[in-house]
Chains A and B, each alone.
Chain A
Amino acid sequence: MSKSPMALIAQTVLGMTLALAAGRSQPAWAQEEGVGMFSAGKLKTASGPEVFRQICQGCHMPDGKGAVGAGRYPALAGDASLASTDFMAMTLLEGRRNMPAFGGNGDVGLFFSVPTLNDDQIAAVINYVRSSFGNHFKGTITAAEVKAMRRPNNDKPEPAH
């Protein structure tokens, strides 16, 4: 390498400037919508299956059977805990151990927002999971029932234990 470190740093800064200029020439948001992705902290769909496919299956897996490594992600298929819609709503609203809460406002004091779900989405995904993957749990939960379970300070939920 014949170039001095300072020359390389200068080129790096120049390279970043050029790349950013190139990026600005594209209507990024408009194109982004076209492929179904959203940068905001909230999902724009209330569909239960969509919420599951875009978030939940990342850990619980597309077939709802969970996974095992050094620890495990619990299966949603055939999990008796899912008999309780309240258990599921509390888990989604406030999180459970390593699973993040989805009921806050997305602000956890970091440089990015964590995903949040509204009452409709939480009810929809609960009802979807309880009737999918071979599950046939009785009853459903409504958005109003989810809303009633939110704590007054639900912007900053205490983690469930």
Chain B
Amino acid sequence: MQQSIFQPVGGMGMVGQAFGRELAPLIRYNAKVIDIQQDERGVSATFVDTAAPSMSRHTVHADWCVCTIPLSVLGQIPMKVGAPMAKAIAAVPYAAAVKVGLQFKRRFWEQDEQIYGGITYTDLPISNIGYPNSGFFSDGKGVLLGGYLWGLDAAKFTAMSPEERVAKAVEYGSQIHPQYPKEFDTGIAVAWHRSPFTMGCFGIWTEEARATHYNALCAIDGRIVLAGEHASYLPAWQEGALMSALDAIDRLHRRALAGGAPA
């Protein structure tokens, strides 16, 4: 029997938004990192301000660096780290995933089918349909997760135009909910490989790659430590990213207290 599962009001995206709100004064947006250097005294990161018309370059300095850039992007940024970490960064390919949000004119799944939240699993390429776990019994429009695709299906949907992805999700979903064609209002599709900030959904760690590269990826290299789902045993999930961050800052804190020597 599965335990009850809860989600933040508004969905899992609210976790990231809360971090953004609480840390607002510390975050610099539109900063595209193009170079990361370090020496015995500190770390320098150079970035382009992509919001500035001049695309001006800036360099910031710090004693230590916790770098959370996905490996798909980090692997293309010049970075002064040792060969073991550099090889580890280059050893992790990124998996495809696609989500499709479908807006319908009414919450027919509640009104016609008595479905209140939860998930329908299917062997169709859309993989599953997620029903909203809030706003039950409300009138007016409603939004479903119309597909959450992995593997080859995700690759194929990534290769489609956004409009095609939505149309296909409606087509497949109609096999489960005949109300789809009549009630469909509009939709949106996200393919993680088309996300400019991640270039993929998450890092694929095979057992072999983990045995060879994982420790080197997670080790503190001079004054730089990496964190994120890619530096965890829970790839793809927010939980993995958070656990990785806690682990990284704990180790970095002990290193800093030891005056930079291995703790």
Contacts and interface: CB of A to CB of B under 8 A. Distances in A.
A99 B92 CA distance: 8
Contacts of A98: 71-72, 75, 92-94, 199-200
Nearest to A40: B152
B158 interface: yes
Contacts, number: 176
B82 to A, nearest CB: 14
Contact of A100 (B93, B159, B208): B93
Given A15-B109, A26-B176, A71 B152 contact: no
Contacts of B158: 58-59
Nearest to B96: A58
A159 B118 contact: no
Contact of A71 (B118, B119, B199, B207): B199
B115 A97 contact: no
Contacts of B257: none
A48 interface: no
Given A8-B136, A108-B204, A161 B90 contact: yes
Given A15-B109, A98-B75, A115-B151, A161 B91 contact: yes
A85 to B, nearest CB: 22
Interface stretch (B12-20, B21-29, B51-59, B189-197): B189-197
A23 B152 contact: no
B206 A42 contact: no
A19 B129 contact: yes
B31 to A, nearest CB: 10
Interface string A83-115: 000000000000101111100001011111111
Given A15-B109, A58-B159, A159-B91, A114 B151 contact: yes
Nearest to A106: B151
A55 B159 contact: yes
Interface residues of B, number: 65
A140 interface: no
Contacts of B186: none
A106 B94 CA distance: 14
Contacts of A26: 175-176
A22 interface: yes
Given A1-B136, A115-B151, A156-B208, A19 B196 contact: no
A154 interface: no
A115 B196 contact: no
A43 interface: yes
A39 interface: yes
Given A19-B129, A32-B125, A99-B93, A109 B197 contact: no
Given A12-B117, A70-B73, A22 B176 contact: yes
Closest 3 CB pairs of A and B: A69-B196, A15-B115, A58-B158
Interface of A: 1, 3, 5, 8-9, 11-16, 18-20, 22-23, 26, 28-29, 31-32, 35, 37-43, 53-59, 67-73, 95, 97-101, 106, 108-115, 156, 158-159, 161
6 contacts: A12-B118, A23-B120, A28-B122, A31-B175, A58-B158, A114-B152
Interface of B: 4, 32-33, 69, 71-73, 75-77, 87, 90-96, 109, 113-125, 129, 131, 133, 136, 150-153, 155-156, 158-159, 168, 171-172, 175-177, 191, 193-200, 204, 206-209, 212
Given A35-B172, A113-B152, A115-B151, 20 more contacts: A8-B136, A9-B4, A12-B115, A12-B133, A16-B119, A19-B177, A22-B177, A26-B176, A28-B123, A31-B175, A39-B124, A39-B125, A39-B153, A68-B196, A69-B197, A71-B77, A73-B199, A98-B92, A114-B95, A156-B208
